[in-house]
Amino acid sequence: MLDISRYRVAPGSEVDLSSLDPDSKAGFEGGKQEGKETLPDLNAKLADLQRRLWAESSQKLLVVLQAMDTGGKDGTIRHVFKGVNPQGVIVHGFTKPNEVELARDYLWRIHPHVPPSGVVSIFNRSHYEDVLVVRVRNLIPEERWRRRYQHINDFERLLTDEGTTIVKLFLHISNEEQRNRLEARLEEPEKRWKLHESDFDDRNLWDQFQTAYEEALTRTSTENAPWYVVPANRKWYRNLVVSSILVDALERMDPRYPDPEPGLEALVVT
Ligand code: ADP
């Protein structure tokens, strides 16, 4: 069985990514075949829970997905959310802020995309870029991005106080795995569209990004909005871990179908 608690960043603990194995397949020593056979069951569970969440229409779930380039955010979304009701799931990708967004505080563009009642919102990148790429590329002075960990914790506390469940996932790949994936993208025409020159620049800043991630994970994993570091070199295992974390979160939320309107049982369809 998969023990997801081993991937949760305990609030207050110091994250050292080099000590966390991106190749882990703990709980699934049987390997890829066994893993692939298990995913459909988790997909079905997730779909059932999401249907209840949508019907209940009061709770909401925010999933934050972060990773180094080629870390597998898009593939995770495709595989983990297979079979859900697309009406109740919204994916929002955050790219470079535009002029209008840059003229405001960095959370201004984020807040409108938090999930409304009954909905699962997935952030493909997020407000965390504002302490990651912004830090590594020196886009603002350190004293400004340093204050942001507290802003982010306060913002997330506001959301959870108001009824949003937050799950934050960092897909952890190794430097070598990134090299393999970038090479594959260069070689395979149907993957090449995903490549940008900036991916190669960012790869040169691998160590700085890892350090920025370590500090972000350390400072912003809280009881109400915890981070999970998901081993992501093996895609099949990554999918199982992410699915298990989301099923666990939704099971705790325990969404229920609303009671039917009184008197319905006496009605006859003519
Ligand atoms: P992805 O790499 O997630 O598939 P893109 O190729 O569109 O998507 O890349 C999005 C880019 O936007 C990334 O390089 C990321 O660093 C950048 N980005 C996202 N948020 C910010 C931000 N707040 N400030 C600067 N750059 C950002």
| Cα 74 to ligand 1 centroid, rounded to whole Å | 13
Tell me the pLDDT tens digit for each residue of 78-134.
999 999 999 999 999 999 999 999 999 999 999 999 999 999 999 999 999 999 999
Phi, psi angle pair for 66, to nearest 5°: -130, 150
Tell me the pLDDT tens digit for each residue of 3-21.
999 999 999 999 999 999 9
The pLDDT value given to residue 137: 97
pTM: 0.97
Distance CA 189, CA 194 (A): 10
Binned at pLDDT 50, 70 and 90, residue 249 comes out as very high
- Spatial neighbors of 205 by CB under 8 A, at least 6 apart, are 136, 137
- Atom index in ligand 1 nearest the CA of residue 74 equals 4
Tell me the pLDDT tens digit for each residue of 115-125.
999 999 999 99
- Atom index in ligand 1 nearest the CA of residue 132 equals 16
Distance CA 183, CA 185 (A): 5
Distance CA 89, CA 43 (A): 14
Q: Residues 160-178: what's their mean pLDDT?
A: 98
Is residue 30 over pLDDT 90? no
Proportion of the chain above pLDDT 90, given as a percent: 88
Q: Residues 19-47: what's their mean pLDDT?
A: 94
List all residues whose CB is within 6 A of at least one atom of ligand 1: 69, 94-97, 124-125, 129-130, 133-134, 196, 198
The pLDDT value given to residue 29: 87
**Residue of 74, 132, 133, 144 best suited for mutating to test ligand 1, as the one with most atoms within 8 Å of CB:** 133
Is residue 1 over pLDDT 80? no
End-to-end CA distance of the chain: 50
The pLDDT value given to residue 194: 85
- Atom index in ligand 1 nearest the CA of residue 199 equals 14
Tally of CA atoms within 13 A in the half-sphere of 112 that contains its CB = 6
Tell me the pLDDT tens digit for each residue of 181-213.
999 999 998 888 888 888 888 999 999 999 999
Residue whose pair of structure tokens reads 């960092």 in the numeric block: 170
Dihedral, 60, 58, 85, 4 alpha carbons, nearest 10: 40
**Residue of 66, 129, 151, 203 best suited for mutating to test ligand 1, as the one with most atoms within 8 Å of CB:** 129
**Residue of 69, 92, 125 best suited for mutating to test ligand 1, as the one with most atoms within 8 Å of CB:** 125
